Amino acid sequence: MKIVKSSVNFTAMALLFLSGACTAPTQTGSSAPDAASATAVSSTAAVHELSGLPIVPLTIVSNGIWHVFAVEYAKTAQQQAQGLMFRTELADKDGMLFPNDPPQQRSFWMKNTVIPLDIIFIAPDGRIESIIADATPYSLHPISSRRSVAAVLEIAGGQAAQLGIRAGDMVKWDAHSVSGR
């Protein structure tokens, strides 16, 4: 992903945010972020070069392993309607988040979406409700959540399986870092 000039250090931002946000257990060889080792983070938010959307850190805790992503934050109806259509690539650990306030049942399709995506539905409690893996590019078949969700995350097709991400895993992001946009 290409990022417009920014002074944000995403690793530091994720560490600061997550140090108090999640108390998931860790496995041998992996560890939860340590806030004491994080550096100061600028308040200037990064924006994606193509979409102009703010980029926020998002973490999925899966079996004690912390997977940190840099995701575009699509808040408005217009931003969500555009989504990742016409994109020809999506780097590992990049994605797009579609928040719902209040939580609601969501349905997506892949019309004009060139690349396969994993579509992850996030329940109001922050846990993954379900994952639709490798959604087929250009498909008009509706892809729906089973119940009301707080957000939907799209990442590169196959990445959820590659990282061992599954239903029930915890997802955290800092919506306050993009408030007012």
The confidence score (pLDDT) of residue 56 equals: 96
Q: β-pairing, 94-104 with 107-108?
A: unpaired
Query: What would be the CATH architecture of the domain defined by 56-178?
Result: Sandwich (2.60)
Two structure tokens written together for 34: 């340590």
What mean pLDDT comes out for the span 101-130?
A: 96
- In 30-93, the DSSP E strands lie at 55-62, 65-73
Domain ranges of the chain: 56-178
- In the chain, the DSSP E strands lie at 55-62, 65-73, 94-104, 107-108, 117-122, 128-135, 143-144, 149-156, 170-173
Return phi, psi of residue 144, to 5°.
Answer: -125, 150
Partner residues linked to 66 by β-bridges:
61
pLDDT per residue as tens digits for the range 128-137: 999 999 999 9
pLDDT per residue as tens digits for the range 61-111: 999 999 999 999 999 999 999 999 999 999 999 999 999 999 999 999 999
- Is 7's pLDDT higher than 80? no
Global confidence as pTM: 0.76
pLDDT per residue as tens digits for the range 21-33: 333 333 323 445 4
